[in-house]
Amino acid sequence: MTLYDLLQLDIPTPPLYESGIKFLDEAFDGGFEMGQLVTVTGEPDAGKTMITEQILANVSQGHKCLYFALEFNKRQAQNKFKQRVKNGTAKEQALKNVEFISAEDTEGEVGQVLNLIQKNVENGAKFVVLDSTIMLYIEGLGGEQEVTKMFYLLQNLAKRQDILLFVITQSSKDENKEGKVGIFGSMKASHFANIMLHLTYDKDEGERGLIVAKNKQNGRYLKQKIFFSKSLLTFNTIDIEIEEAPQPQQRSFGGRDDDF
C-alpha cells in the first residue's frame, strides 16, 4: 500500500470515550480515543484507583468494560462500589457492563492477563482497567527488562485490538517530590504510553492536582488543581480553567506506593 492508497481508504473516525470528569474531557477534546495505553501514576494516597474507578463507572453506562482489581479482593471492591451506587456516582444497572476480575481470580502472570483481556474484547469489551502493574509478572524476566516488556505488550494489545487500556502503575517517592513523572523500573516503559496522567497530593496543604505529562492524542500538556470528595469518591476541578504547563521531565524509576 502506498500513502496515496491510504488516503483513499474510508477509515471511520473512532468514538471518543467520555470520562465523565469535566476537566479531563476538556483536556482531551471530548474524551479518550481508542487504541491507546493510558498510564495513571501518582503519589501515595493521591487517588490513582479512585479516579480510575470514577472513569470506569461513567464509561460503563454506555460501553462494555473489563476491570482487573488485582490489589483488592472481592469484599473490598464490593464495599467501594456499594458506596458509589449509594451516593449516585455509579449506576447499579450499568455495572452489569463491567466484567470484574480480582486478585483471587488470577496470579497476575502477564500472558494470562493478556489472554483474559483478549477473551473479553472478543465479547465486546473496549474499555479495560488494570490496577495495578505492581501485581503483574513475566515468568523468567525481572527488573527493567520485565517492566519494559510488560508495557510493550500492553501498548501493542491496545493498538492492535483498538481498545482503551487504563493502567495504574507506580512512581517513586523521590521522583514524586521532584515533580517528575515516570514508570518504575524501566527507562523505556514510558515510551509505550500514549497518555500519562499523574496525580499529586500535598498532605500538609491538603491540595491535589493532576498533570497530563504525555499526550499523543492532541499534544496538550496540562496541570490542573483538583478536589477529591471522600463521601462521593469523586474528583472535580477547583479552578474552572485548565492551566497550561510545560511538559514535566519524564524518567522511569524503581519503587511502588500504596493507593486507596
Report the CATH number that the domain containing residue 235 is assigned in CATH: 3.40.50.300
Degrees, nearest 5: CA angle 145-146-147: 95
Of the two residues 148 and 242, the one the predictor is more confident about is: 148
Least confident stretch, 7-21, 55-69, 73-87, 161-175: 161-175
Is the pLDDT at 243 greater than 50? The verdict is no
Mean pLDDT, the chain, rounded, equals: 88
Angle, to 10 degrees, between the axis of helix 143-161 and the axis of helix 110-122?
A: 10
Name the band, by pLDDT with cuts 50, 70 and 90, for residue 186.
confident
Kindly state the average pLDDT of the residues 149-154: 96
How many other CB atoms are there within 10 angstroms of residue 155's CB atom? 21
Q: Is 168 exposed, middle or buried (CB count within 10 Å of its CB: 0-12, 13-18, 19+)?
A: buried
| Strands of the chain, DSSP E | 16-17, 32-33, 36-42, 65-69, 98-102, 127-131, 164-168, 195-202, 207-215, 222-229, 234-237, 243-244
Q: Is residue 255 part of a domain?
A: no
235 and 167 Cβ atoms separated by less than 8 Å? no
Q: Is residue 237 part of a domain?
A: yes
C-alpha distances in Å from residue 105, one per residue of 30, 137, 172: 34, 15, 28
Kindly state the average pLDDT of the residues 240-244: 44
Is the pLDDT at 1 greater than 70? The verdict is yes
Bridge-based pairing of strands 16-17 and 32-33 is antiparallel
Is the pLDDT at 249 greater than 60? The verdict is no
Q: Which domain holds residue 177?
A: 14-244
pLDDT at 68: 97
Is the pLDDT at 28 greater than 80? The verdict is yes
Kindly state the average pLDDT of the residues 73-94: 95
Name the band, by pLDDT with cuts 50, 70 and 90, for residue 257.
very low
Q: Is residue 253 part of a domain?
A: no
Q: Is residue 260 part of a domain?
A: no
pTM over 0.85: yes
Q: Is residue 8 part of a domain?
A: no
Q: Is residue 216 part of a domain?
A: yes
Q: Is residue 252 part of a domain?
A: no
Q: Is residue 43 part of a domain?
A: yes
Count structural domains, the chain: 1
72 and 259 Cβ atoms separated by less than 8 Å? no
